[in-house]
Amino acid sequence: MLYKEYSVQLTFREQWRDERLQFDDLGGQVRYLTLTDPEKIWKPDLFFSNEKEGHFHNIIMPNVLLRIHPNGDVLYSIRISLVLSCPMDLKFYPLDKQTCSILMASYGYTTEDLVFLWKEGDPVQVTKNLHLPRFTLERFFTDYCTSRTNTGEYSCLKVDLLFKREFSYYLIQIYIPCCMLVIVSWVSFWLDQNAVPARVSLGVTTLLTMATQTSGINASLPPVSYTKAIDVWTGVCLTFVFGALLEFALVNYASRSDAHKKSAKEQQKKQWELEHAALEADHLEDGATTFAMVTASFLDI
């Protein structure tokens, strides 16, 4: 299954009654007739309206069966491989569910000439133990999709297939690696603030790895105009990783600012101590000079 399309291989069977094909069963001895060339009788002009590509299977023999019963009932069975369109909504990717349809309609006959009906009982059967890559078929249901155009009303049958995306693949490939990158980026919180090369290398490496992971995820998806759930997840993880790097830059800046302020205060303190010591020296020198003058005065007396 790809974006906007999916492939399916099916055995298509339809039954109708054509009274022109009635024949004598010879007292119950003939149960039915088998035709090898289905083009020799009339068949409903059914087509798959959402088909993009398709082909029949012819190995080893054409996989076609046509049986005619004595009362005119016809069974037509053929094996077909189809590529069908399936518009998808990826808003909740990869936690999304997708509904894809198989549309079968009459190409030329209106409902006045031809009406398609689902067979009573179990008209759609799915292979047991069906395994799909990245998806699980949860359920399916049948419906009618009769359409009206300018040329008339046309009978249509529809099968809706509900697919759920497998989360385990994305858990291993996306969610766990993103969580590990965020945790690794937070390791820098426990590194010494002076270990600049180690913290810068760790922050830049995890940021680039997270950006690469985000680009790889988006590369595997088609471009859409709306935000997907995976975009929110990767955006939050990228914000956490970038925040760890930004935190280191702020802490380093604050640490250097504190160091500069502390150094300036120490220089001011040393300068004040030097000035104070110089003033005290001046006072001592002035005191010694005064004492010497007083002593000299006493000697004169």
CATH number, residue 229: 1.20.58.390
Closest by CA position to 178, among listed 96, 241, 247, 95:
241
Q: Judge if 192 and 44 occupy the same domain.
A: no
Domain's final residue, options 227, 246, 261: 261
Q: Judge if 173 and 155 occupy the same domain.
A: no
Domain's final residue, options 165, 197, 231: 165
Residue 253 in domain:
yes
Q: Judge if 124 and 201 occupy the same domain.
A: no
Residue 290 in domain:
no
Give the per-residue pLDDT at 46: 95
- Distance (Å, rounded) from C-alpha 212 to C-alpha 196? 24
Residue 281 in domain:
no
Q: Judge if 122 and 12 occupy the same domain.
A: yes
- Distance (Å, rounded) from C-alpha 41 to C-alpha 66? 10
Residue 253, exposed/middle/buried by CB under 10 A (0-12, 13-18, 19+)?
Answer: exposed
CATH number at residue 10: 2.70.170.10
- Distance (Å, rounded) from C-alpha 154 to C-alpha 244? 62
Looking at the structure of the chain, the number of domains it has is 2
Q: Judge if 157 and 175 occupy the same domain.
A: no
Summarize the chain as % helix, strand, coil (round to 5): 40, 25, 30
- Distance (Å, rounded) from C-alpha 95 to C-alpha 286? 90
Q: Judge if 90 and 218 occupy the same domain.
A: no
- Distance (Å, rounded) from C-alpha 157 to C-alpha 101? 10
Q: Judge if 156 and 27 occupy the same domain.
A: yes
Q: Judge if 112 and 123 occupy the same domain.
A: yes
Tokens matching residue 204 = 């830049």
Residue pair 174/94 in contact (Cβ under 8 Å)? The answer is yes
- Distance (Å, rounded) from C-alpha 78 to C-alpha 195? 72
Residue 79, exposed/middle/buried by CB under 10 A (0-12, 13-18, 19+)?
Answer: middle
Residue pair 123/142 in contact (Cβ under 8 Å)? The answer is yes
Q: Judge if 102 and 239 occupy the same domain.
A: no
Q: Judge if 191 and 234 occupy the same domain.
A: yes
Residue 280 in domain:
no
DSSP-derived letter for residue 173 is: I
Domain's final residue, options 108, 140, 165: 165
Closest by CA position to 108, among listed 44, 19, 159:
44
Residue 194 in domain:
yes
Residue 282 in domain:
no
Q: Judge if 160 and 237 occupy the same domain.
A: no
Tokens matching residue 26 = 């010879």
Q: Judge if 137 and 159 occupy the same domain.
A: yes
Give the per-residue pLDDT at 264: 66
Residue 108 in domain:
yes
Q: Give the range of the structural domain holding residue 59, as residue numbers without chain letter.
A: 5-165
Give the per-residue pLDDT at 222: 83
Element (H, E) at 265: helix 229-300
Cis before residue 174, ω within 30 degrees of 0?
A: no
DSSP-derived letter for residue 171 is: I
Tokens matching residue 55 = 């082909």
Give the per-residue pLDDT at 259: 63
Closest by CA position to 245, among listed 298, 201, 213, 287:
201
Residue 15 in domain:
yes
Give the per-residue pLDDT at 299: 44
Q: pLDDT 10s digit of each residue in the chain, 301 long?
A: 667 899 999 999 999 999 999 998 888 888 999 988 888 899 999 999 999 999 999 888 899 999 999 999 999 999 999 999 999 999 999 999 999 999 999 999 999 999 999 998 889 999 888 888 889 999 999 999 999 989 899 999 999 999 999 999 899 999 999 999 999 999 888 887 777 788 888 888 999 999 999 998 888 888 888 999 999 999 999 999 999 888 888 887 877 776 666 766 777 777 777 777 777 766 666 655 554 454 444 444 4
Distances from the Cα of 154 to the Cα of 15, 103, 108, 115, 142, angstroms: 18, 12, 8, 8, 17
